[in-house]
Amino acid sequence: MTTLTEILKKSFLDKQDILTLLQTTGEDQLALFRKSREITDFQIGNKVYLRGLIEYSNVCAKDCLYCGIRKSNRKQARYVLSDEEVIACAQHALDNHYGSIVIQAGERSDAIFTSKITAILKEIKKMSNGTLGVTLSLGEQKLETYQEWFEAGAHRYLLRIESSNPKMFAKIHPHNELHSFERRLKALHDLRKAGFQLGTGVMIGLPFQTLDQMADDLLFLRNLKVDMVGMGPYIEHQDTPLYEASDFLLPRSERLDLAFKMIAILRLMMPEINIAAATALQAIDPMGREKAIKYGANIIMPNITPTVFRNQYKLYEDKPCTDESPVECTSCLEARISMIGSEIGYDEWGDSKYFLKQNQMKQPTASTL
């Protein structure tokens, strides 16, 4: 049987290695975290890159069974930021040297929505003179829409698979074409065709989810050759159908622990990608995001959405920082990052080193021209 020490020395982990690491406790778990931090420092450095999060709208055409802003949640008041509010958020990010923003919203694919995003992207590029990086997280779209948004100025896209297991995926989504596993996979491949740095992720600690499935999730990310990952613990929302399965959930502390291990193992598996410290971590542990940085993450997304709207964008319960202003979030974040001995990469896009290396390899050399 392969020992933990031998596993941590490997450059390529197989499924059994991953399962062993997912079950570590005590000193073995600390050894995993030390190794993941060592790899992060060597491959990525000690910098944390910021993505100012703009929650553009909670209007959604989807009905995912776990999500608080699902279409059928009639208790949820809806909003859409004005163009001026989005540009003001982007200006705040620019003024505070964030380097990049994320525009996130409930999923829509109607022409009014997609054209509005295109116009906003062009305006952000104009007002920042092309210096502000833009990540989108706007769900499944047509390839032509992805291409339009890429040409308008976005260059990274996060579309979470949530579970790479088709049966588990089916348990947390309605059974129709709009929520199909195959549709999600096609969208991921279309994003790469459009030129985006590809990001995806999974929920950790879903009802009935097994360690075997979590190991497969990590293998899926590696096989897809993603450039960035955003994953965190599943946190239930009382106004969703999946809340009925709450009795089958692990305690939140155990879901958090698994999320930390998933981040650390993924850093061992894919040393050069970007890994986000998800906000859901902070919903369980006030220092959850900072701990994730210590264990292998290198991206944090401070919320710069106008405070008045934040409590309406609740994908899950106990969302943190809903009453803080963008200015308060910035000053708090600086102190937290400093506490763990890391530094913020101000005015830097912080693109995935994995993407940059893969893209460079695709460029023709002088001998091939």
pLDDT in tens, 262-272: 999 999 999 99
**Amino acid 301: pLDDT:** 94
- Residue owning tokens 């116009």: 119
CA angle at 280 for the pair 277 and 282, rounded to the nearest 5° = 75
Query: How many structural domains are present in the chain?
Result: 1
**Amino acid 369: pLDDT:** 39
Q: Are 269 and 17 in contact (CB under 8 A)?
A: no
**Amino acid 328: pLDDT:** 66
Would residue 34 count as lying in a domain? no
Structure tokens at 109: 């694919």
For the chain, helix, strand, coil in percent to 5 are 50, 15, 40
Would residue 367 count as lying in a domain? no
Find how far residue 353's CA is from the centre of its chain. Answer: 17
Would residue 15 count as lying in a domain? no
Burial class, 81, CB count within 10 angstroms (exposed 0-12 / middle 13-18 / buried 19+):
buried
**Amino acid 235: pLDDT:** 97
**Amino acid 155: pLDDT:** 98
In angstroms, the CA 172 to CA 161 distance is: 11
In angstroms, the CA 283 to CA 288 distance is: 8
Would residue 29 count as lying in a domain? no
Burial class, 47, CB count within 10 angstroms (exposed 0-12 / middle 13-18 / buried 19+):
middle
Burial class, 217, CB count within 10 angstroms (exposed 0-12 / middle 13-18 / buried 19+):
buried
Q: Which of 176, 177, 175, 126 is nearest to 153 (CA)?
A: 126
Q: Around 136, how many Cα atoms within 13 Å sit in the side-chain half-sphere?
A: 27
Would residue 173 count as lying in a domain? yes
Give the chain's residues under pLDDT 70: 322, 324-330, 362-369
**Which residues constitute the domain of residue 84?**
43-357
Instruction: Quote the DSSP letter at residue 162.
Output: B
Would residue 36 count as lying in a domain? no
Q: Are 241 and 10 in contact (CB under 8 A)?
A: no
Q: Are 50 and 337 in contact (CB under 8 A)?
A: no
**Amino acid 322: pLDDT:** 67
**Amino acid 359: pLDDT:** 84
Q: Which of 259, 299, 302, 312 is nearest to 281 (CA)?
A: 259
Q: What is the CATH number of the domain that holds 298?
A: 3.20.20.70
Q: Are 146 and 194 in contact (CB under 8 A)?
A: yes
Would residue 79 count as lying in a domain? yes
> Which uninterrupted H or E stretch holds 204?
strand 203-204
CA angle at 169 for the pair 155 and 223, rounded to the nearest 5° = 50
Q: Which of 322, 303, 302, 172 is nearest to 237 (CA)?
A: 172
Burial class, 85, CB count within 10 angstroms (exposed 0-12 / middle 13-18 / buried 19+):
middle
Would residue 136 count as lying in a domain? yes
In angstroms, the CA 49 to CA 346 distance is: 7
